[in-house]
Structure 1
Amino acid sequence: MYHTWMRYFTPSPLHHRLGLVCLGVGLQHGTLPPVGPRTLDHHVAVVISAGRGWLTTPDGHRHTVTAPALLWLLPDVPHHYGADPDTGWDESFVDFTGPAAATYTELGYIDPHHPLVPLADTGPARTAIGRIARAARRGNPLLDVETAAAVHELLVALRRARADTDADGEPVLAALARDAFLPLSVAEHAARHGMTPAELRTAVRRGAGCSPKDYLLGIRLGRAKELLVATELPVAAVARRVGYDDPAYFSRLFTRRVGLAPARFRDRQNHRVPGGWSTQIPDPAHPPRVE
C-alpha cells in the first residue's frame, strides 16, 4: 500500500526568466512502485525522510538508499530507483528547471557526480517543499512566483543539510571567515590550516563555489561597505580594518568589484539622521532593533 499526492505546473516564458521555475511537486509514502529506468529533460530533487530503498546509476551500480537522503535526478541522465518493498519510504519531490540550475551546479549546490547524497536533516527541505505544496492550491495567481522562490529556498536547505558538512558548511570556510580581516595571503591561510594552497582551493571551491581569494574578498568588501555606511572612518582606515595596508590597492579592488569607488559608495548610501553618527559599529550577528 502507498499514498501519493502530486501537482504539475506549466510556467509561462516570462516566469522562466526568473532563473528557476517549479514544474511539479509530490508527497508520497509507503511501498511505492519503482521509478524508471527513464530519462527526464529537467532536474528533480527527491528527498527521502524515512525508510530505505535503492538507486541504480547509469554505470549499472545499485546503491542502497537509507533515509535521510537526497536523490538528484539530472536532465538527460537515466535513473532508476525505488523503495524497499518491505519497508517502503517517505518521499517528497520537486521538479524544476531554468538557467540558474547551471549556476547552482557550478557553485556545488547540485553535484552531478553524487546523485545520492546523505542528509543530516530533512526538516528545512520539507518546509520548502511544503511551501510549494501550499502554493499549488487551485487558482493561486502567485503560483509560479511563489514556487520559484521556494525552489531557491529548497536548494539552499539541501546544501545546508548535507551530512558531510555542518550547518555553516565546511569548517575551513568558518575558519577563513573568522580570519578574513588578517593581512594574510592565500598561501598563509592554507599554512594556518595545515593545507597546501591547492588543497585549500579545492576545499573552498567545494564548499563555497569560488576560489579562496574571491571568498575572502566577498567577506572583506561586505564589511568595508558596512564601515563606509555606518561610520565616518576615512577610506584608508576602512581599508586597514578589513585587511589591506595599501588604501590605493583596496580602492582599486573595491571599485572593480562594486562598480563605485569607496567614497562614491558612501555618498550614495549615506542616510542623514538627526543626532549624527553613532560611534558604535553595528555587529552583523546582532543587528539593532527598530522600536
Structure 2
Amino acid sequence: MYQTWMRYFSPGPVHHRLGLVCLGVGLQHGALPAVGPRTLGHHVAVVIHAGSGWLRTPDGHHRTVTAPALLWLAPGVPHHYGAADGTGWDESFVDFTGPAVAAYTELGCIEPHRPLVPLTDTTAARTAVHRIARAAHRGNPLLEIETSAAVHELLVALRHARADTTPGGEPVLQALAQDAFLPLTVAQHAARHGMTPAELRAAVRRGAGCSPKDYLLNIRLGRAKELLAATELPVAAVARRVGYADPAYFSRLFTRRVGTAPVRFRARQGRAVPGGWSARIPDPDHPPVIAPRPSA
C-alpha cells in the first residue's frame, strides 16, 4: 500500500523569466511502484526522507538508496528507480526548469552527473517542498511566483544538506575568508594551507562553485562597499583595508565588477553612518527595534 499527492503546473513565458519555474510537486510514501525506465525533458529533485530502495543508473549499475538521500533526474538522461519491496520509503519530488538551471549547475547546486547524493538531513528541503504544496491551491494568483521562490530555496537547502559538505562549509573556504584581506596571491593562499594552487582551485570550486580569485574578490568588494557606505575613509584607505595596495587598481576592479566607481557608489548611499555600523548579524527572534519613548 502507498499514498500519493501531486500537483502539476504550466507556468507562462513571463514566469520563466524568474529563472526557475516549478512544473510539479509530489508527496508520497509507502511501497511505491517503480518509476521508469523513462526519460524526461526537465529536472526533478526526488528527496528520500525515510526508508530505502534502489536506483539503476544509465550505465546499468544497480545502486542501493538509503535515506536521507537525493535522486537527481536530469533531462534527456534515462532513469529507473523504486522503493524497497514491503517497507517502501517516504519521498517528495519537485519538477523544475528554467534559464537559471545552468548557473545553479555551474555553482554546484545541481549535479546532473551524480544521480544519487547522500544527505545528512532533509528538514530544510521538506520545508521548501511543503511551501510549494501549500501554494498549490487552485486560484492562487501568486502560484508561479511562490513556487519559483521555493525551488530556489530547495536547491540551496539540498546543497547545504549534502553529506560530503562539512558543517559550516568547507574548512578551506572558512580559512580563505579569514585571510581574504591579506595582500596575497592565490598561490600564496594555497601555500599557507599546505595545498598546491590546483588543489585550492578544486576545493573552492567544489565548495563555492567559483574560482579562489572570484571567491576572494566577492568578500573583498563586499567589505569595501560596507566601508564606503558606513565610513568617511578615503578610497585609498578602503583599498588598503581590503587588501589592495594600489588604489587605482582597486578603483578599476571595483568599477568593472560593481558597475560604478567607488566614489560614485559612496555618493549614492546618501550618507555615512560613523558610530552606527554593526558587524553583528541580527537575531531573527530578537531583531533591532526602536525602543518606545517613556511616557511623560
What is the correspondence of 1:14-29 to structure 2 with a 5 Å cutoff? 14-29=14-29
For the residue of structure 1 that corresponds to 2:47, the secondary structure is strand
**Offset of 1:112 from its aligned partner?**
1.8
Match in the other structure for 1:200: 200
Q: TM-score, normalised by structure 2?
A: 0.94
Q: Which runs of 5+ in 2 are unaligned?
A: 291-296
Letter in 2 for 1:266: R
8 Å CA contact 1:227–1:281 kept in 2: the answer is no
**Offset of 1:290 from its aligned partner?**
3.9
For the residue of structure 2 that corresponds to 1:160, the secondary structure is helix
Does residue 59 (structure 1) correspond to residue 55 (structure 2)? The answer is no
CA distance in 2, matches of 1:236, 1:107: 33
| Runs of 4+ with deviation above 4 angstroms | none
Match in the other structure for 1:135: 135
Letter in 2 for 1:5: W
Match in the other structure for 1:8: 8
CA distance in 1, matches of 2:282, 2:183: 25
1:278 maps to which of 274, 279, 282: 274
8 Å CA contact 1:230–1:281 kept in 2: the answer is yes
Q: For each residue in 1:50-88, what CA deviation from the matched residue of structure 2 results, as whole angstroms up to 9, or x when unmatched? A: 000011110001111000000000000000000001321
Match in the other structure for 1:149: 149
Q: Which runs of 5+ in 1 are unaligned?
A: none
Aligned-pair identity in percent equals 78
Letter in 2 for 1:128: A
CA distance in 1, matches of 2:134, 2:59: 37
CA distance in 1, matches of 2:84, 2:73: 19
CA distance in 2, matches of 1:12, 1:62: 38
Q: For each residue in 1:5-61, what CA deviation from the matched residue of structure 2 results, as whole angstroms up to 9, or x when unmatched? A: 000001111111111100000000001000000000000000001000011110001
For the residue of structure 1 that corresponds to 2:183, the secondary structure is coil
CA distance in 2, matches of 1:75, 1:140: 28
Moved more, 220-229 or 80-89: 80-89
CA distance in 1, matches of 2:168, 2:182: 21
Moved more, 210-219 or 104-113: 104-113
Aligned length: 287
**Offset of 1:284 from its aligned partner?**
5.0
Letter in 2 for 1:30: G
Q: For each residue in 1:107-162, what CA deviation from the matched residue of structure 2 results, as whole angstroms up to 9, or x when unmatched? A: 11111221100001100000000000000011111100100010000000000110
Letter in 2 for 1:279: G
Match in the other structure for 1:125: 125
Match in the other structure for 2:239: 239
Letter in 2 for 1:285: I
For the residue of structure 1 that corresponds to 2:201, the secondary structure is helix
CA distance in 1, matches of 2:96, 2:83: 22
Match in the other structure for 1:77: 77
CA distance in 2, matches of 1:81, 1:199: 35
Moved more, 277-286 or 19-28: 277-286
CA distance in 2, matches of 1:42, 1:139: 25
Moved more, 112-121 or 165-174: 165-174
For the residue of structure 2 that corresponds to 1:251, the secondary structure is helix
CA distance in 2, matches of 1:96, 1:24: 7
Match in the other structure for 1:101: 101
Match in the other structure for 2:37: 37
**Offset of 1:179 from its aligned partner?**
1.2
**Offset of 1:286 from its aligned partner?**
4.7
8 Å CA contact 1:22–1:147 kept in 2: the answer is yes
Match in the other structure for 1:265: 265
Match in the other structure for 2:229: 229
CA distance in 2, matches of 1:212, 1:113: 23
For the residue of structure 1 that corresponds to 2:46, the secondary structure is strand
For the residue of structure 1 that corresponds to 2:55, the secondary structure is strand
Q: TM-score, normalised by structure 1?
A: 0.95
**Offset of 1:281 from its aligned partner?**
4.0
CA distance in 1, matches of 2:255, 2:54: 52
**Offset of 1:166 from its aligned partner?**
2.5
CA distance in 2, matches of 1:147, 1:280: 38
Match in the other structure for 1:289: 288
CA distance in 2, matches of 1:257, 1:105: 22
